Amino acid sequence: MFVDESRLHIAIQKSGRLSDYSRGLLRDAGLRIQNGKNDLTARVENFPADLMFVRDDDIPTFVSDGVCEFGIVGENVLQEFALGDLEPRFEILARLGFGRCSLRIAAPEAVAYDGPATLQGGRIATSYPRIVRRFLDDNCIEATVVKMNGAVELAPRLQIASFVCDLVSTGATLEANGLRPVETVLESEAVLIRTSRPMADTKAEQASRLVSRIDGVLATKESKYIMLNAPSEALQEITAILPGAEAPTILPLHGRPGHFAVHAVCQESVFWETLQKLKGAGASAILVLPIEKMMM
């Protein structure tokens, strides 16, 4: 596979929901992604970057080794990799708000569970042996960790292990196999990572531009633009109510002495209760608008 060293390389999962969300994030950042001629890469038309489609557990390796400057990967995969690498060379730039799941220990329905001490002397099947071992060590538990690459939920039925530790989103798979979650080991979501290996000046500048775009996309997910009118005596209370707003713009209203227009970017969710509080504080003509793009 030829790698163009003049372009950035972004590793994402080859298929699945995380792949779809990752492509969506990059498209929202203004990257026009060509359909690749093969299943391994895709070129970005309007930015010096290429996408690399790989297995999720290969993404940390690609980024740590500097083969790819960026990667989008589940935090569960990243932590399992980092615990086994003597010197992982990457940094987490942002948590992306998608691909959320929990890594949880589950027990058969018939087994009584009374906290982590119940695991003492047991066997736990998992695809994340390092994370599970860390959990056991943190809780001073001696137990055997059995690594499985798939079908972890079958381990108790096959008498491979008494407990399992697996990713849970809805819990339906565990329930179908007579298991119930009893302990949360890790809360995970997709993260954007960047290699910590040195980059040439040109690439570093391109990387900074890409991060700025992605930061802007993430900032607009929950952000809203609020406009309202208010009398001068209500301004202090109103600005305190505005969720996540910093230094709102306040302009005098033409023809209405003592009244002002307040414009603010709110970087937290704006609920109906917030609008009612603003109105109760003296605000009027309140508008809440979505933000399409924002450069931080």
**Is 94 in the same domain as 108?**
no
The rounded distance, in Å, linking the Cα atoms of 147 and 124 is 8
Per-residue pLDDT tens over the stretch 197-218: 999 999 999 999 999 999 989 8
Distances in Å between the Cα of 214 and the Cα atoms of 49, 133, 168, 208 are: 14, 34, 28, 10
CB atoms within 10 A of CB 265: 19
Same domain, 25 and 43: yes
* Count of domains observed in the chain: 3
Tell me the residue range of the domain where 37 lies: 8-98+190-220
Residue 1 lies in a domain: no
pLDDT score recorded for residue 70: 98
Average pLDDT taken over every residue of the chain: 91
Mean pLDDT for 111-125 is 94
Distance CA(269)–CA(243), nearest Å, equals 7
Q: What pLDDT, on a 0 to 100 scale, did the predictor assign at position 181?
A: 93
| pLDDT tens digit sequence for 37-85 | 567 889 999 999 999 999 999 999 999 999 999 999 999 999 999 998 7
Could you tell me if 76 and 204 lie in one domain?
Answer: yes
pLDDT (0 to 100) of residue 144: 97
Mean pLDDT lowest for which of 39-48, 177-186, 261-270, 275-284? 261-270
119 within 8 A of 201, measured Cβ to Cβ: no
pLDDT tens, residue by residue, 19-34: 999 999 999 999 999 8
Same domain (yes/no): 142, 165: yes
**pTM as predicted:** 0.81
CATH of residue 196's domain is: 3.40.190.10
Task: For the beta carbon of residue 23, count every other beta carbon within 10 angstroms.
Answer: 18
pLDDT band at 12 (very low <50, low <70, confident <90, very high): very high
* Contact by Cβ (8 Å): 179, 164: yes
* Co-location of 231 and 125 in the same domain: no
Q: Are 199 and 64 found together in one domain?
A: yes
d(CA 190, CA 141): 29
Please report whether residue 295 resides in a domain. Answer: no
Is 60 exceeded by the pLDDT of residue 113? yes
Verify that 42 and 31 share a domain, yes or no: yes
